[in-house]
Amino acid sequence: MALDSLDAAVTLPGEDFSRVALTPPAVELLRSLWVRHGPLMFHQSGGCCDGSSPMCYPVGDFLTGDSDVLLGLFDLSDGPEPQPLEFWMSREQFNYWSHTHLTVDVVPGRGSGFSVEAPEGKRFLIRSTLMDWPA
């Protein structure tokens, strides 16, 4: 069964559409990283290290707070055990990107941040498209 993308479950109150998705290569890499690192999460900031690259951390290695927004929740499982992965964004960045749908993809290369995929010779990348939703 081919997978076009995996949409995150909706997490923002009052919304009924997914704001973030994973490409099949991102899902494949995340499942592999999950085996090595355990439960994972994403945080998207506008920070200095990789600019707008999403950073993937083992759960508990990056603490979120009131300055962050939970944009979506993925289930990476391909078996009976759930593999939940949260996608967070800084509230300040969300203010800029609130009108976009984000898709996490994987490209060859090495980011300059602390994301767990760095040793794999790959890096996560955001592809964005303007959202078209009813006003």
The whole-number pLDDT of residue 75 equals 95
Higher-confidence residue of 32 and 114: namely: 32
What's the pLDDT band for 1 if we cut at 50, 70, 90? very low
CATH architecture of 6-11+18-130: Sandwich (2.60)
Using CA atoms, how far apart are residues 120 and 102, in angstroms rounded to an integer? 23
Mean pLDDT across the chain, nearest whole number? Answer: 89
What is the distance between the alpha carbons of residues 77 and 112, in angstroms, rounded to a whole number? 29
